[in-house]
Structure 1
């Protein structure tokens, strides 16, 4: 059986390398590398958007959530679904703006300080997201080769592969690898979920083998850390701590905006969102279902100690050999894709928003490409360092989502939909949202408010502080000029 898994992984790796090498031959300019020459049609956009959004956050953190809480784990992806409904109206505006990065938008609508602070927030958040992709990929390799590859060695292998393939061709490589990966993952999840439900004995057996709260709207969210049942209101608060960061990350997601900047036209950008909505609802529901079915099949043992591994573990032990090998290979490919997207995105920030903007504004295309690839390598090493020392993928995901959601999403939405928010209001929001999120888990801060901070995510206090700063500072500073507003007008 191990030979089957090796064969499947070898085919996937070969295809991804072939795509990266081929697309590398097509990269000649800065626009080719950073936004694929603004040439992506709607069909490619759908699959690259879907594949970049659903990675280790869904396959490991979301699956861990489902293993512990049942179908209430759908609160997490539901935040993305709500965000997508709003994105349908944002996509054409984003493509019309048509720059390279989100800080381009922040400077055009606000000022240079907003650009710099936005770049810092993106670096913290996206390198964090990349790190748990590396860690999830290491877990997959360990499950496939338990006697030869440890989780840590697997993490190093995944990091090396992602850094090399991402550095080769940039957005062009990432987008076209996503087409193959998105198609594979969607098909195999649609096939695997019914098979696992049958293995679990159908819906009646599933209800008998799982706790009743696994089928309730708030699941185990109503349980305190000590196992005490709390009021539905507390369950709602915990559910919203999963939904809100996911929704706000989706709304302000630079990876998404870069894909829209890469679209052929405003029409392609908007049409891609329709397919993205359908694909995300279907695929994330299937991922949660597979994790819940896996919890019924494997309630104890090794996977109970590491519930983030439930989907690859179920693929390895709960499915027919060929189906399990393909699902495990699909999880592997998905992690590669998402890691590539979230590694490439902050690298473009370093190049476009720091190197080209401040250090070498007249740099040649060749020099920009060299620096871009170096940025990918440096940020990949930083992400690898974080992956080695991060224990919980779920907690790392929530931290990364929160810092981005609180610091950036409010000012991005205000850029498109508010004529009164000022440059210094945006600066205050980015700075305060970032500081609250970074400070929330510091030991000294925890000791001051042990009963509040120990059990809660930072999203609501960070978001409240950021929005309050956005509004208050904007009220006491001069309104933006017509030239600034014209940058993002319809």
Structure 2
């Protein structure tokens, strides 16, 4: 295990070094929150890729593929579909050039939409950060068996809080370049080696159920769309993504980054699913069968040559840290920009803003850690987080750019109903008052339908927005 420990230690030191080297460049709020709007396309591609592919793909997606085969890619394909539309949104987002999604909501709608947006982002992003801590804790436990997964989560939380607090977006973005390159190499190199160890694809196909290689697998079409829709809608409204576009050097850099990002996630998420499928053929029983979210790290430890296995474990570890950095940093920007500066201290100095930003990163990191210690299923937590965001925020964000008739009243009602239905859906009330066939489904369809109906009907019944509100969002 010394080699694996060495690789993890080297990654931590590298990330810390990158963070510290960026500190001297952080002097203003724009430097901390959007990297001084200086990121070129190459850096944007890797920071977008690293922020998207974290425990949701490496743990939840891999667990799904281990159990159900390539049909698990329905979840990933939602993100791919979302990116096709994002290609047209990216230059508009960079042109708008603010700091956060609630900035956008107030400019297009009103202050109430901004406040509700902050609440939805806080619940969604701390939930996403929480299961990154779970993924990091699992890896720490596998590499150091004497260390419990819970203590591993606490150590990962400490790493992430420190890395994120140091230099903000500049730190996050440039760490992601190193992490993205490492993960791409490791995953692509591991797949043919593991497939050969499993006897080749012909033997793998003969070993596993035929459904592992079918379009729907053992899913119903409804279940496939329950995986597809939350991911697609999270991608379309993802604040972390918009914040990266706000950080781009130019509108052209933002558009180019989307193309590279699309190619990267299609390749890497397909490889992750393939690795999990191979892992299910290599390790159909035992410890990993009971805890399949660990399949990628487990196959790296037990199915690869030591050096490549150590690099792959390190890449997964780094990816988890990267995603946690991104999703922890994003809600901190909301609290500093949309609450502290907007309402409490509009005249705050840059020094005060940076200090409070770092304090908020620590607070949100501890809240995320508390959530992680009470979570049992990463997949369920991921779908819950995606659904809150998908139903509450994505419809009003897209309407800001593409539907001139959307009004403030429609947006506020839509955000409130989308959040309320998602949170309510898993309560005892729903399970006792609705038929089991409905109550046991995921919340995405009822929450999204309620949100869209409110946005459309209330907007059509209220006064249209002014041309001044619409101008920043025009092509």
TM-score (norm 1): 0.96
Cα offset, 1:452, TM superposition: 3.1
2:425/2:439 contact within 8 Å kept: no
- 2:55 corresponds to: 56
Q: Secondary structure at the match of 2:25?
A: coil
CA distance in 2, matches of 1:419, 1:441: 34
CA distance in 1, matches of 2:114, 2:258: 27
CA distance in 1, matches of 2:110, 2:91: 23
Cα offset, 1:453, TM superposition: 4.4
Cα offset, 1:489, TM superposition: 1.3
Gaps of 5+ in 1: 222-234
2:430/2:439 contact within 8 Å kept: no
Cα offset, 1:212, TM superposition: 1.1
- 1:153 corresponds to: 151
CA distance in 1, matches of 2:222, 2:472: 38
TM-score (norm 2): 0.99
- 1:401 corresponds to: 386
Cα offset, 1:445, TM superposition: 1.8
1:66/1:72 contact within 8 Å kept: yes
- Mean alpha-carbon deviation: is it higher for 211-220 or for 268-277? 211-220
CA distance in 2, matches of 1:321, 1:135: 24
CA distance in 2, matches of 1:71, 1:371: 45
CA distance in 1, matches of 2:360, 2:437: 39
- 1:142 corresponds to: 141
- 1:227 corresponds to: none
Per-residue CA deviations over 1:44-95 (Å, capped at 9, x if unaligned) read 0000000000000000000011011100011111001001111100000000
- 1:102 corresponds to: 101
- 2:247 corresponds to: 262
1:110/1:426 contact within 8 Å kept: yes
Per-residue CA deviations over 1:375-427 (Å, capped at 9, x if unaligned) read 10111011000000000000000000000000000000000011101001000
1:415-426 alignment runs, 5 A limit:
415-426=400-411
Cα offset, 1:450, TM superposition: 4.7
CA distance in 2, matches of 1:191, 1:450: 48
Cα offset, 1:444, TM superposition: 2.3
Per-residue CA deviations over 1:112-156 (Å, capped at 9, x if unaligned) read 00000011000000000000000110000000011x211000000
CA distance in 2, matches of 1:216, 1:242: 16
CA distance in 2, matches of 1:285, 1:380: 31
1:48-447 alignment runs, 5 A limit:
48-146=47-145, 148-221=146-219, 235-447=220-432
Q: Residues 455 and 200 from structure 1, CA distance in 2 versus in 1: closer, same or farther, beyond 3 angstroms?
A: farther
1:344/1:376 contact within 8 Å kept: yes
CA distance in 2, matches of 1:69, 1:114: 40
- Mean alpha-carbon deviation: is it higher for 83-92 or for 207-216? 207-216
Per-residue CA deviations over 1:220-251 (Å, capped at 9, x if unaligned) read 21xxxxxxxxxxxxx11100101110000000
- 1:23 corresponds to: 22
CA distance in 1, matches of 2:438, 2:331: 29
CA distance in 1, matches of 2:417, 2:46: 35
Q: Secondary structure at the match of 1:220?
A: coil
Per-residue CA deviations over 1:438-476 (Å, capped at 9, x if unaligned) read 000012221222513453110011000000000111011
Cα offset, 1:485, TM superposition: 0.4
Cα offset, 1:369, TM superposition: 0.4
The structure 1 segments of at least 4 consecutive aligned residues displaced by more than 6 Å after TM superposition are none
- 1:232 corresponds to: none
Gaps of 5+ in 2: none
1:93/1:488 contact within 8 Å kept: yes
- 1:225 corresponds to: none
- Mean alpha-carbon deviation: is it higher for 304-313 or for 446-455? 446-455
2:32/2:168 contact within 8 Å kept: yes
